[in-house]
């Protein structure tokens, strides 16, 4: 996290972008731009700016947005619900679809089921998220008129409207996530199915469902859980693109707007938040290994 803080701050400050020039507008004079730079503190040395920002962040003050003229913490709280809804729904949908498909592909290795599942996984991993989003939008919104094209409705305004707005973005974002989880699930379960204890379970007369769920899938869970955690990084990047495509007012869309506006405090806070989320998720994933494999201890 320290490395992220330092690198993000320096990259923004050492770039050629000048927030004061964007705020002042095209017809602003040099004196007006310099006045805005002084007001924003951008005339100070980089180390002095970093020390001031770090002191504020350590107390929970993320600063004030250059572009939106609001506290960055307020901006993040306003945009948090759409992003959380999209991310959680995508994770749940991806796991519910990808894990069973991966298990089926491993059990029926070499058959048409395996080839179809792996073909879909390669396809899902190869097509960019925004392409999938526009295709879903064209088919289900424009041609069939089943779902709304864009936008977001808060959960407090009605569950059905909230779900309708989320379905297309979730399916678009889950394409790459499903592909990743399905491929790792297939490989892990396929390795476990060749173990002696699986053959012993079959010899005892246990059904295929029990063997797959209790013996194969549980012992293959560590790599699967690991890739779910790694996929959080893909999910964060996908959220930025998906929210822009579907005009969802979440943290991803806020990130794009802040970058285009050279809004340094907002960009710094968002990158810090995304990085912290990724680090914490991977920490919890590592700790969860003990639940699936008793041999692992920390």
* Mean pLDDT of all residues in 206-214: 73
What is the rounded distance in angstroms from the CA atom of residue 66 to the CA atom of residue 253? 17
Comma-separated ranges of CATH 1.10.3720.10 domains in the chain: 78-292
CA 107 to chain centre: 30
Question: What number is the average pLDDT over the span 42-57?
Answer: 82
* Of 43-47, 95-99, 167-171, 177-181, minimum mean pLDDT range: 43-47
Digit-coded pLDDT (tens) for 214-269: 767 777 777 888 888 777 777 777 788 888 888 888 888 888 888 888 888 888 88
pLDDT of 16 over the 70 cut: no
Contact 105, 159 (CB under 8 A): no
Determine the topology of domain 78-292 in CATH: MetI-like fold (1.10.3720)
Q: Are 268 and 9 in contact (CB under 8 A)?
A: yes
Alpha carbon distance, N-terminus to C-terminus of the chain: 22
Q: What is the DSSP string of 21-69?
A: HHHH-TT--HHHHHHHHHHHTTTS-HHHHHHHHHHHHHTT---B-TTT-
**pLDDT digit string, tens, across residues 152-203:** 888 888 888 888 888 888 888 888 888 888 888 888 888 877 777 777 776 7
Question: How confident is the model over 118-128, as a mean pLDDT?
Answer: 84
- The predicted pLDDT at position 297 comes to 67
Rounded to whole angstroms, the Cα distance separating 54 from 32 reads 28
Question: Region 275-296: what's the mean pLDDT?
Answer: 80
Q: Return d(Cα 183, Cα 106) in angstroms, integer.
A: 9
Tell me the HSE value of 58 on the side-chain side, using a 13 A CA sphere.
Answer: 7
Residue 288 burial (10 A CB sphere; 0-12, 13-18, 19+):
middle
């Amino acid at each position: 996290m320290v490395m992220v803080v330092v690198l993000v701050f320096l990259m923004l400050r050492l770039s050629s972008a000048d927030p004061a020039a964007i705020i002042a507008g095209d017809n602003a004079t040099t004196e007006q731009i310099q006045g805005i730079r002084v007001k924003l503190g951008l005339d100070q040395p980089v180390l002095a700016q970093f020390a001031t920002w770090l002191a504020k962040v350590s107390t929970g003050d993320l600063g004030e947005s250059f572009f939106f003229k609001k506290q960055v913490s307020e901006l993040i709280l306003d945009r948090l619900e759409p992003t959380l809804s999209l991310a959680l729904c995508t994770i749940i949908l991806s796991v519910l679809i990808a894990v069973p498909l991966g298990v089926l592909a491993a059990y029926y290795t070499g058959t048409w089921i395996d080839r179809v599942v792996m073909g879909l996984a390669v396809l899902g991993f190869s097509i960019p998220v925004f392409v999938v989003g526009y295709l879903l939008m064209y088919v289900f919104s424009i041609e069939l008129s089943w779902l709304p094209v864009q936008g977001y409705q808060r959960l407090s305004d009605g569950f059905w409207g909230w779900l309708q707005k989320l379905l297309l973005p979730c399916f678009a974002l889950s394409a790459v996530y499903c592909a990743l989880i399905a491929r790792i699930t297939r490989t892990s379960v396929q390795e476990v199915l060749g173990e002696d204890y699986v053959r012993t379970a079959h010899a005892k007369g246990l059904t295929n469902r029990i063997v797959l769920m209790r013996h194969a899938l549980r012992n293959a869970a560590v790599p699967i859980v690991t890739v779910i955690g790694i996929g959080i990084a893909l999910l964060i990047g996908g959220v930025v693109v998906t929210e822009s495509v579907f005009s969802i007012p979440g943290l991803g869309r806020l990130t794009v707007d802040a970058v285009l506006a050279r809004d340094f405090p907002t960009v710094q806070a968002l990158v810090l938040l995304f990085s912290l989320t990724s680090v914490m998720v991977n920490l919890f994933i590592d700790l969860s290994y003990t639940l699936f494999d008793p041999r692992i201890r920390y």
